[in-house]
Amino acid sequence: MNKVIGTDVSRKDGRAKVTGTATYAAEHQIPGLVHGYLVTASIANGQIKSIDTGAAEKAVGVIDVFTHKNLPKVFMPTNDFVSSKIYEARLPLSDDKIHYAGQIIGLVVADTFERARDAAHLVKVEYATQKPVVEAAKATFKEPPQMGEESKFEKGNFATGVASATTKLTATYKTSTEMHAPMEPHAIIAHWQDANSLTVYEPSQWVLGSQRTYAELFGLPSERVRIVTPFLGGAFGCKALPWPHGILCAAAARKLQRPLRVVLSRRQMTANSGHRSETEQTMRLGATADGILTAIAHEAKSCTSPVEVYAEPCTGVTPVMYTAPNLQLKQELAVLNIGTPTFMRGPGENPGMWALESAMDELSWMLKIDPVELRLKNEAKEHQRKDLPFSAKHFADCLRVGAEQFGWKDRPKQPRSLTRDGKLVGWGMAASTFPGLRGKASVKVRLLSDGTAHLLTAGNDMGTGAYTVVAATAAEALGLPVEGIHVELGDSLLPDGGLAGGSKMTASLVPAVMAACEQVLKTANAKTAKEAFVTLGESGRAAIEATASSAPDDEAKKWAFQSWGAHFCEVSVDEEIGRLRVTRWVSVMDIGRVINSKTAASQVRGGVIMGIGQALMEECHLDPNIGYPVVYDLATYHFPTHADIPRIEVFFVGEPDLNFNPAGVRGVGEIGITGVSAAIANAVYHATGKRIRDLPITPDKLL
């Protein structure tokens, strides 16, 4: 048997990325390419009284200047996440209103990037300014208008449940605004072959979704739009849908009938490519003296922009984690004059687990029960909102294996009782979770006469390892070495591979790859690809091919699908200078079958690193007067570097989740970040006796 699945397979795309042959959106070379540079608002709330583009239009090399006065026709798409979806419900340059600082108000097109940028600074704008609301503390919160009943849930009677508890906890936990800062900036090249045929080179997590959306935006049949995204330089949720700059670029390119490139600056990205909203969450727990939960209440607040309703769904984790007969959930949202927030690795689950797992740790100290034991006592056996049992759950194994690998039994039972080299040392842990999501995906397999197999799908790889996972799955199914598998991704001309988001790409693609490989062998009347190659050689044909699809079935009505994990960490704290370092880390994950242990562990490590950034340094403050972020590039926005990160040990437990899909595999892209910040804060409490409930944990909070 050709055993490939579950082994360490090196990345298929690794060589292309390290040698520079991987082509990203802004790097495509097209004859006649011209360049656009955005003009953005310098106020956060108001109206454009006048906009003078005269000087910009006369500047050397300038081809055209677009504002709300002369934008070519763009149609509003269905915007329903089925037919199409855009990040902001307001189309760019659709009127003279200003909703947030940095909002796009114009586009200058010139023959070089430098000339476009210089001319953009010549555009003069006069505003009628209104006082913006940019601070959550001064905003009005209410139920999200588009979430309906999802913003509230109640089981049992919380008041009765908490009244019967012998131990009660009420605490509020906050997270800061986090910026999307992928290595590849947001960029697009729009190339119209004629007035009714568009090719878009853009980093897109959802190739066929973008195709349908751009088609609707410009009144075209989908087959007249091609999206090309072979590589993404990081995405994490901010490159799933078209942003206003992309729509504007395509509209301007159509008017000019010239291929047009627009690349956002880091400053422009702070307002125009999404962020994770700040959150405020209040947890109320009630428990018996022996640690059985009687009641849980989870209330969450987040912020959105005036041009889109996006609520950070923090309370979604609560019904899946711990059983309580009385459960109450509530979500509220405030509108601020800020850029639009959006999905960011573990949206909802990440900040939700920060609050829930911090509260569980606090409760464990109050009860004098080990935090691992408290979680084992109360783990949920079913999804308390869906009333469905979990399909395959090994959360208890995650806790036990993590505790053993970390040496948790040796943890001192009192805060401030462990020191090393004159510094306080603390141990902390937290659970981790993310739903098992899956979509429809299609894959084409071609067996070629040269003895290789080609796998083709519009599904793509935003750095999570899809190239490698597809190759490994096909190699085992066909009986070929991984080196003999060639994978093509990220082009709308290929079969629909679905969305690279929600940790669903692997879970969606792998069953489709298996089905396509089975079909191509059936077509060739062969048991292995080597037999098929013989048939191919005898036939004189160049290739044998087959296409297959896979999609969720009725099992979703019988089971709740969820992945589980546990983090254990050690921190050191130098109280004299408030210096906090994470010095040791163990993560254990239950994600069903592991297709590639190498890339899966890498995904967990990446999530942990992002979580450490959230816990220790990432935050974005806004200037209260103009609403602009006071951080504006990779130098002023603090995120982890190698020096901040310890060795991260990753282990996998569990079994294939065959109720979920025929491959038994669930996603791993996002679960690694959930619970990380709570584990660190819990370790800080063990080290110092200080309970930090407001992220990030900066030195001033430790002094």
The residues that are catalytic are 670
Q: Which two tokens stand for residue 376?
A: 């084992």
Distance CA 682, CA 426 (A): 8
In the chain the first and final C-alpha atoms are separated, in Å, by: 60
**Are the CB atoms for 697 and 571 separated by under 8 Å?**
no
Q: Which two tokens stand for residue 568?
A: 């254990």
**Residue length of the chain:** 703
Burial (CB count <10 Å: 0-12, 13-18, 19+), residue 698: middle
**Are the CB atoms for 282 and 171 separated by under 8 Å?**
yes
Maximum Cα–Cα distance for the chain, whole Å? 80
Distance CA 258, CA 256 (A): 5
Q: Which two tokens stand for residue 187?
A: 């960029």
> Which of 51, 47, 54 has its CA nearest to residue 39?
51
Element (H, E) at 522: helix 505-523
Q: Is 371 helix (H, G, I), strand (E, B) or coil?
A: helix
194: phi > 0 → left, psi -120 to 50 → alpha, else beta; which? beta
**Are the CB atoms for 198 and 217 separated by under 8 Å?**
no
DSSP label at 34? E
Q: Which two tokens stand for residue 264?
A: 């956002």
Identity of the residue numbered 62: V
**Are the CB atoms for 245 and 265 separated by under 8 Å?**
no
Q: Which two tokens stand for residue 680?
A: 């660190």
DSSP label at 277? P
**Are the CB atoms for 693 and 173 separated by under 8 Å?**
yes
Strands 260-263 and 34-40, bridge-based pairing: parallel
**Are the CB atoms for 345 and 312 separated by under 8 Å?**
no
What lies within 8 Å, CB to CB, of 102 at 6+ separation is 40, 41, 267, 268, 270, 271, 272, 339, 628
Q: Which two tokens stand for residue 40?
A: 């953005």
Q: How far is CA 625 from the centre of its chain?
A: 31
How many C-beta atoms surround the C-beta of residue 198 within 10 A? 23
Q: How far is CA 547 from the centre of its chain?
A: 29
**Any bridge partners for residue 543, and if so which?**
448
Sheet with 648-652, side-by-side order of all strands: 419-420, 423-435, 562-574, 579-590, 648-652
Q: State the Cα torsion 12-15-21-27 to the nearest 10°.
A: 70
Q: Tell me which residue has tokens 């996002």.
A: 670
Identity of the residue numbered 496: D
> Which of 143, 629, 42 has its CA nearest to residue 341?
629
Distance CA 200, CA 175 (A): 36
Please, what is the Cα angle at 674 between 639 and 638, to 5 degrees?
10
**Are the CB atoms for 195 and 257 separated by under 8 Å?**
yes
Q: Is 566 helix (H, G, I), strand (E, B) or coil?
A: strand
